[in-house]
Structure 1
Amino acid sequence: MQVMIFGAGYSGQAIGAATLARGKAAAGTTRGPDRLAHLGSRGIIPYLYDGEHLSPVLRGAMLTTTHLVQSIPPGSGGDSLLRLTEGDLKRWFPALTWVAYLSTVGVYGNHDGAWVDETTPCQPKSARAVERVRAEAAWREAGRAAGIPVAILRLAGIYGPGRNALVNLHRGTAHRIIKKDQVFNRIRVEDIANATMFLASSNRAGIFNVTDDEPAPPQDVVSEAARLMGVQPPPEQDFETADMRPIARSFYGDNKRISNAALRNLGFQFAFPNYRSSLAELWSSGRWFG
């Protein structure tokens, strides 16, 4: 197995670590030359990719890639890798046997707190979610044309070491925004990585929600983090009057409970199925700050 991760950021690096832990080779791309050494220090073979050009050295690595993970969000012009390769996976990745496209549960849109699963029709509201739906379809079509299985991983809100409510409290940036009946799912970054490897091990195709078991109000997560730290949680703020950036406010427009049963029914076990056990592990292990 030769894994290539386009977009080796927070989730991509976790996938790289999980790949290496299984004794397999991992490569990854970054936009910044200053990030190459960081990826290399983690054992991930680093390549530059700016979304506009495929360098000769990167094209060479693509020839031996067996498992491709696309973690770069699309733009208004669509998925950059599909655009540059004209969707011809067999030509650019002749050794390829499996693709993972990392998407988002935002494609489902708002369901007023109701449960959704992979059979629920997408009704994206934001431009970002619309772009994701189009990218999902484009990757599935590219896979179909090449005869290569494509797994679409729809991710909930990502957190983990260095990115969590404990860190936000420590930095004084945590907020308890109250919107009646609002819930979110979330997912620990290590579970994203392990789910990716689980699906890659059998070249499994399909759409999979990668999310925890317990959709919960966001203020409850902050309160639990404060309890673990032994500090007072920040005061509650009403959503309607809270001072929030537009992008943060937009996330509250989608309210749903997301099922992960499809992935569980294949035999995958989440290491961090809810925010309470996950925050407790981050705090007790000392890994909460990254």
Structure 2
Amino acid sequence: MSSFSKPRILIIGCGDIGVRVAEQLSQSHHIYALTSQKARFQELRAVGATPILGDLDKPDSLWRLSGLAQTVIHLAPPQNTGHRDCRTRNLLRILAQGSQAVRRLIYVSTTGVYGDHAGAKVSEITPVKPQSERAKRRVDAENTLRMWAPAHGVTLTILRVPGIYAENRLPVERIQSRTPALISAEDAYSNHIQSDDLARLICAATYHGKPQRVINTCDGGETKMGDYFDEVADAYGLERPPRLPARDLEKLVSPMLWSFMRESRRVTNTRLAELKTPLRYPSVAIFLKTISKNP
């Protein structure tokens, strides 16, 4: 199929996950990837994407996106301050101007929008209660998209993503540095998805995402954070991290890390079946067996 006759997809925020998505879709689609760095052009072309120079913080630089593609995959995080996601607003203003209308938009959000539930289970119908500024910006982005999409005839799929891991995204350095974890009685549940699985699910959403639908894109595991660190340490033949009570650990870690460690929830993934894409790694333990450094 000629690249000119292929359906067009625009990826916003083409980092590690975006590159994996581009690799998977480039055979069947013409992929455009927004980047603010010319230095990344060669990398993006190597995975079959056409790089587009622009910066979500500079609306005047985004004019090339107008009318470019009927499907948009929005992976870009909000800016680092404030309660509103200005980047998403800048993007939507440009997309609304195109003569070729956007028909589908996949937004990759975060399970952080649920906030702390003291270890209780949450689902897609659980009301959001963001506690950190970054989570509040994500909720703002979701709400902005939910208002914009129906008004423009766009099928919106929101994928809420937990902690992403891969061989190059494991807490090995943290474990080697002997950063403590919480004692089990005070530890928080963490939720995960493997990078390649996430990329496959994003690709699946371009075909199977239902209109105005939220999907928790996680493996459904119920592992406490300290146990996760222990699993990684065992796989790499490292000493497990020490454990401390919350009152002692809070004094040793950054406020951002502490906010992650204190939010505890078990995220269910029953809607994941809608994407018709079984996980290759339904648990961290299964993935770690494939890369274990421990003889």
Provide the C-alpha distance between the structure 1 equivalents of 2:59 and 2:42, rounded to a whole number of angstroms: 20
Deviations 1:180-204 (A, max 9, x none): 1411101111121111111211353
Provide the C-alpha distance between the structure 2 equivalents of 1:186 and 1:249, rounded to a whole number of angstroms: 18
- Aligned CA distance change for structure 1 residues 114 and 106 (closer, same or farther; 3 Å): same
Q: Which letter maps to 2:231?
A: E
Provide the C-alpha distance between the structure 2 equivalents of 1:113 and 1:229, rounded to a whole number of angstroms: 28
- Aligned CA distance change for structure 1 residues 73 and 231 (closer, same or farther; 3 Å): closer
Match of 2:23 in 1: 17
Q: Which letter maps to 2:218?
A: T
Give the Å deviation of 1:2. Answer: 1.6
Provide the C-alpha distance between the structure 1 equivalents of 2:43 and 2:228, rounded to a whole number of angstroms: 31
Match of 1:257 in 2: 266
Unmatched runs of 5 consecutive residues or more in structure 1:
285-290
Give the Å deviation of 1:121. Answer: 0.5
Q: How does 1:121-160 map to 2 (within 5 A)?
A: 121-160=127-166
Provide the C-alpha distance between the structure 2 equivalents of 1:161 and 1:43, rounded to a whole number of angstroms: 23
**Contact 1:63-1:94 within 8 A present in 2 as well:** yes
Give the Å deviation of 1:146. Answer: 0.6
Match of 2:231 in 1: 224
Provide the C-alpha distance between the structure 1 equivalents of 2:253 and 2:262, rounded to a whole number of angstroms: 13
**Contact 2:103-2:154 within 8 A present in 1 as well:** yes
Give the Å deviation of 1:240. Answer: 2.7
Deviations 1:222-280 (A, max 9, x none): 22222222332233344432311111001123110000101125533112111101122
Secondary structure class of the residue paired with 1:112: coil
**Contact 2:208-2:275 within 8 A present in 1 as well:** no
1:37 equivalenced with 2:42 (yes/no): yes
Q: Which letter maps to 1:67?
A: T
Provide the C-alpha distance between the structure 1 equivalents of 2:149 and 2:17, rounded to a whole number of angstroms: 22
Match of 1:177 in 2: 181
**Contact 2:66-2:95 within 8 A present in 1 as well:** no
Give the Å deviation of 1:50. Answer: 1.8
Provide the C-alpha distance between the structure 2 equivalents of 1:2 and 1:189, rounded to a whole number of angstroms: 23
**Contact 1:101-1:152 within 8 A present in 2 as well:** yes
Q: Give the TM-score normalised by structure 1.
A: 0.86
Provide the C-alpha distance between the structure 1 equivalents of 2:156 and 2:288, rounded to a whole number of angstroms: 32
Give the Å deviation of 1:175. Answer: 3.6
Match of 1:91 in 2: 97
Q: Choose 41-50 or 73-82, whichever is displaced more.
A: 73-82
Provide the C-alpha distance between the structure 2 equivalents of 1:32 and 1:53, rounded to a whole number of angstroms: 13
Q: Choose 254-263 or 11-20, whichever is displaced more.
A: 11-20
**Contact 1:4-1:62 within 8 A present in 2 as well:** no
Provide the C-alpha distance between the structure 2 equivalents of 1:213 and 1:90, rounded to a whole number of angstroms: 36
Secondary structure class of the residue paired with 1:190: helix
Q: 2:280 aligns with which of 264, 267, 271?
A: 271
**Contact 1:59-1:92 within 8 A present in 2 as well:** no
Give the Å deviation of 1:68. Answer: 0.3
Q: Choose 213-222 or 130-139, whichever is displaced more.
A: 213-222
Provide the C-alpha distance between the structure 2 equivalents of 1:273 and 1:84, rounded to a whole number of angstroms: 34
Provide the C-alpha distance between the structure 2 equivalents of 1:176 and 1:188, rounded to a whole number of angstroms: 24
Q: Which letter maps to 2:34?
A: T
- Aligned CA distance change for structure 1 residues 92 and 79 (closer, same or farther; 3 Å): farther
Provide the C-alpha distance between the structure 1 equivalents of 2:243 and 2:188, rounded to a whole number of angstroms: 14
Q: 1:106 aligns with which of 112, 117, 140?
A: 112
- Aligned CA distance change for structure 1 residues 107 and 49 (closer, same or farther; 3 Å): same
Match of 1:66 in 2: 70
Q: Choose 243-252 or 72-81, whichever is displaced more.
A: 72-81
Unmatched runs of 5 consecutive residues or more in structure 2:
1-6
Q: Give the TM-score normalised by structure 2.
A: 0.85
Q: 2:57 aligns with which of 46, 52, 56?
A: 52
Q: Which letter maps to 1:74?
A: P
1:82 equivalenced with 2:86 (yes/no): no
Provide the C-alpha distance between the structure 1 equivalents of 2:38 and 2:292, rounded to a whole number of angstroms: 33
Provide the C-alpha distance between the structure 2 equivalents of 1:93 and 1:11, rounded to a whole number of angstroms: 29
Provide the C-alpha distance between the structure 2 equivalents of 1:43 and 1:63, rounded to a whole number of angstroms: 20
- Aligned CA distance change for structure 1 residues 174 and 152 (closer, same or farther; 3 Å): farther
Secondary structure class of the residue paired with 1:268: coil
Give the share of equivalent positions with the same residue, in percent.
25
Q: Which letter maps to 2:243?
A: E
Give the Å deviation of 1:39. Answer: 2.0
